[in-house]
Structure 1
Amino acid sequence: MAVTDEAIDKIKQMIVAGELRPGDRLPREPDLAERLGLSRNSLREAVKALSLIRVLDVRQGDGTYVTSLDPALLLDALSFVVDFHRDDTVLEFLEVRRILEPAATALAAQRMTEQHLEKLRAVLDGLGDDPTIDELVANDLEFHRQIAACAGNNVLTSLLDSLSGPTTRARVWRGLTQEGAVSKTREQHAAILDAVASGQPELARAWATVHIAGVEEWLRRVL
């Protein structure tokens, strides 16, 4: 194991074991290096790496702290990595969406509040009669983001948000080339909303599956 990797692992173990909790300040660099049996350079590199993935927060002149470790914060790094996908792997991301998003939609149907419904209806109503491709994609992303948020599971919401990047291009291609994309998107979103609003999780799951599978099937033919 590389020295820096060993240092990262030792800090991770301190957090996992509860020796360092969210919001805690790390001991002074020389003290922590001695405690972990590491060189200060190795420890410094480990701290830098863990700060990049939002596990640690380095505050100039104040010290280094464990972050909140909130799922949305930690999975933000995943969004950065996902953006490096190749065009030939976008289908794999859509497959993952097809697994996760219907489950989130079913949860939303069980946990939806009237306030959530109002937000969803506003998003649906916000799509004009003749939207540009950018407006269509932005509306689609916001609709699915709101559905995921209504599921009440921060990890699931963050994962789905991370997966939106590589599938955005597929949505754009579809909007540019597939006849009736706007009306089809509007109709399927309305069906999902109706199922969620009426508290029918399995119907909501089915419509979400149909919606995502349609994009996936179209992209398979294109590629």
Structure 2
Amino acid sequence: MAVTDEAIEKIKAMIVSGELSPGDRLPPEKELSERLGLSRNSMREAVKALEVIRVLDVRRGDGTYVTSLEPHLLLEAIAFVVDMHDDDSMLEIFAVRRMLESQATGLAATLGTDEEIAELIQEVDGVDASVGIEELVEHDIRFHREIVAMAGNAYLASLIEHLSSQTVRARVWRGLTQGGAVERTLSEHRAIADAIAQRDSALATSLTTAHIAGVERWLRQAASA
């Protein structure tokens, strides 16, 4: 194991064991490196790496702290990776999203509160095909985020959201606009929302599977064009 990797593992072990908790300040670099039996250079590189993936927060002139470790922070890197992939890889990413989000939507139909469902219906009612791309993207983010939030699993919600970043959504909606498929896509949103409102978990799951599969079909066609 590389020395930097060893330093990362040792800092991680301190967090996992509870020696360091979210919001805690790490000991000074010299003290920490001596305690863990590692060089200050390897410790410095480990801290940089853990800062990139949002495990640590380096505050200049103050110190280094453990972040909140909330899911949306720890999974941010996924969105970056997704944005960098081509159409072929994107198809695999959307397949993963389809499997996860369809099940989350089924849970939403079971676990969503009446207030959450009312807000979802309001979201669907508030958009039509005449709005611009930016508004469609924002609607798409809110629509899917509200549904997945009803499943009550923060890690699942963050993972699904980062699997389809704002950049990817903008790209998809532009394609749908050019292909004249916006009305159909918004109609699918309505059908999913109605299934959730009816507490029909099986129907909500099936409709979401078909909805995301439709985007996969568009991507496949775009890749082969």
State the partner residue of 1:141.
141
Identity of aligned residues (%): 57
Picking from 163, 175, 178, the partner of 1:173 is 175
Q: For residue 186 of structure 2, give the secondary structure of its aligned residue in structure 1.
A: helix
Alpha carbons 2:128, 2:186 under 8 Å: kept: no
State the partner residue of 2:190.
190
Root-mean-square deviation (CA), in Å?
A: 1.7
1:81-120 aligned at under 5 Å gives the runs 81-120=81-120
TM-score normalized with structure 2 length? 0.91
Unaligned runs of 5+ in 2: none
Alpha carbons 1:90, 1:167 under 8 Å: kept: no
Shift, 1:110, TM fit: 1.2
Alpha carbons 2:23, 2:65 under 8 Å: kept: yes
Q: For residue 102 of structure 1, give the secondary structure of its aligned residue in structure 2.
A: helix
Structure 1 pair 219/28, CA: closer, same or farther in 2 (3 Å)? Answer: closer
State the partner residue of 1:70.
70
Q: For residue 103 of structure 1, give the secondary structure of its aligned residue in structure 2.
A: helix
Give distance in 1, aligned partners of 2:104 and 2:184: 21
Q: For residue 20 of structure 1, give the secondary structure of its aligned residue in structure 2.
A: coil
Alpha carbons 2:124, 2:189 under 8 Å: kept: yes
Alpha carbons 2:87, 2:219 under 8 Å: kept: no
Shift, 1:126, TM fit: 1.5
Structure 1 pair 134/63, CA: closer, same or farther in 2 (3 Å)? Answer: closer
Give distance in 1, aligned partners of 2:135 and 2:81: 26
Which whole-Å deviations, capped at 9, do the CAs of 1:106-161 have from their partners, x for residues lacking one? 11111111221232122211213523344333322321121112221101110111
State the partner residue of 1:209.
209
Shift, 1:29, TM fit: 1.4
Unaligned runs of 5+ in 1: none
Give distance in 2, aligned partners of 1:215 and 1:74: 27
Alpha carbons 1:56, 1:65 under 8 Å: kept: yes
Alpha carbons 2:104, 2:151 under 8 Å: kept: yes
Shift, 1:220, TM fit: 2.1
Q: For residue 85 of structure 1, give the secondary structure of its aligned residue in structure 2.
A: coil
Which whole-Å deviations, capped at 9, do the CAs of 1:54-74 have from their partners, x for residues lacking one? 111122232211111111111
Q: For residue 61 of structure 1, give the secondary structure of its aligned residue in structure 2.
A: coil
State the partner residue of 1:58.
58
Q: For residue 25 of structure 1, give the secondary structure of its aligned residue in structure 2.
A: coil
State the partner residue of 1:128.
128
Query: Partner letter of residue 116 of structure 1?
Result: E
Shift, 1:103, TM fit: 0.8
